[in-house]
Amino acid sequence: MLPEGIVDTEVTMTVNERYTYLRKMRERYQGIGRREQGKLLDEMEAVTGLHRKSLLRLMHGSLERKPRSRERHKEYGAEVDEAIQVIAKSLDYPCAERLTPGLRAMAEHLSQHDALQVSASVLEQLERVSVSTIERRLKRFRDDRTRLPRRRSSSANSALCGVAMGRIPWDTSDPGYLETDTVHHCGASASGEYVHTVQIVDVATGWSDRQATLGRSYTVMKDAFDTLLERLPFEVHELHPDNGSEFFNQHMLRYWKEKVKGARLWRSRPYHKNDNPLVEQHNAAWVRAYLGYDRLDTVAQAQALNQLYDRLWVYCNLFQPMMHTTEKQLVATSDGGTRIRRRYDRARTPFERLRETGVLSPRQQQELEAVHQQTNPLQLREEIYALIDHIFSLPSAVPGVTEDVYQLVGLPWVTQAAD
């Protein structure tokens, strides 16, 4: 019997795992008496889900898998493959689990923008296609991407004293609990000033936003958060950065109290990077995957990057389906250890999740739905990649020439001086 609180993994047993299990059990089965064999059959029946007669045949027969005598009928034709390819490309090739639930809806949406032509039969097939089928299709035409290991950096200062440590619970259901982090675009050298991406992610809905800054001074960080918080369609209840000095200094602590009154400020535990798991995932998926690790160090590059993030705000929140953890269980493994098994919900976009919470006002919901209806995600993806090419076509900073960070911030006196 398994220890209390630990469950078996038979519900997810594959065919190969079942045959491996039965081969081990047959060694026990053949060396015991009839009564013990009956008890062992009861156990195998519960674990594998097979009928008792089938188990008896397998115990006295061959446990080698036979090759298929003929190929399966091809259920989905070229039209379905083409539709899946266009939809996957328009969403930048998400995984099959995220892509499958919204295939029909996205096909209809793309057809409204003349980006895809689909018949009623294709729509019906897209609605019933399985995740495993989509996974096989994606392997044939997904873009190959080389991802380099992320840089690690940490810092601490006296401003951390008095700020509680912890993490936002993974099963938080109310919007407004935000993880935040910065991504460094310094290239091979961290010397001098260079561009950073400030990112916030809502734990409950996956709603995210990004803003580029040149350096990490209070001036640029304040302006970035002014923009990010202004664009949020819900109230902030909690902010959870890591221990970076760009977040925790006396100026920023005063800013948090004035800007987000009543919101709780947490911080990650030292050397526990996974205290902010969601924003770390978004750093990889929506910053590093597009920009890599090259150095960006000019005002012009930061301005172009913010233009990119304006489009990613629409692309990520209104079109990208995401899966959230719904359950965690401690389960037994074959080697006698344990692991955590996670179950996930049906993939939905952050906008769909936010709409379900009921926090949006009728006006906010109407405005977001209008943006969704008017946007062609395939065209938006092309604009995103065109902007990425433009960013890396811009010249880097010239040694000895100072960049004016005030060109990036929306301060009134800067605008008046420019006039």
> What is the predicted pLDDT for the residue at 70?
66
> What is the predicted pLDDT for the residue at 12?
60
Q: How far is CA 301 from CA 40, 48, 67, 197, 228, in A?
A: 68, 58, 57, 12, 19
Integer-rounded Cα Rg, in Å, for the chain is: 27
Q: Percentage helix, strand, coil, to 5, in the chain?
A: 50, 10, 40
Any long-range contacts for 301-307 (C-beta under 8 Å, 24+ apart)?
301/195, 301/391, 301/394, 301/396, 302/195, 302/212, 302/213, 302/214, 302/408, 303/212, 303/407, 303/408, 304/387, 304/390, 304/391, 304/394, 305/195, 305/197, 305/212, 305/391, 306/211, 306/212, 306/408, 307/387
Helices (H), 210-349: 218-231, 250-259, 277-283, 289-291, 299-319
> What is the predicted pLDDT for the residue at 150?
47
Q: Is the dihedral of CA 97, 100, 105, 110 positive or negative?
A: positive
Residue numbers in the chain where pLDDT is lower than 70? 1-12, 69-73, 142-157, 411-419
Any long-range contacts for 394-397 (C-beta under 8 Å, 24+ apart)?
394/298, 394/300, 394/301, 394/304, 395/298, 396/295, 396/296, 396/297, 396/298, 396/301, 397/192, 397/297, 397/298
Residue with tokens 């259901």: 173
Q: How far is CA 11 from CA 15, 185, 256, 292, in A?
A: 12, 45, 48, 40
Sequence-separated (6 or more) residues with CB below 8 Å from residue 279: 179, 180, 181, 199, 200, 201
Shortest CA distance to 141 belongs to which of 182, 100, 86, 181?
86
- Residue 327's CB is within 10 A of a number of other CB atoms, namely 10
- Flag whether the pTM goes above 0.85: no
325-332/338-344 β-pairing: antiparallel
List domains and CATH numbers for the chain: 10-60 (no CATH), 78-141 (no CATH), 158-396 (3.30.420.10)
**Concatenated DSSP letters for 105-138?**
HHHHHHHHTTS----HHHHHHHHH--HHHHHHHH
- Residue 339's CB is within 10 A of a number of other CB atoms, namely 11
* Crossing angle of helices 250-259 and 218-231, rounded to 10°: 20
Amino acid at 238: E
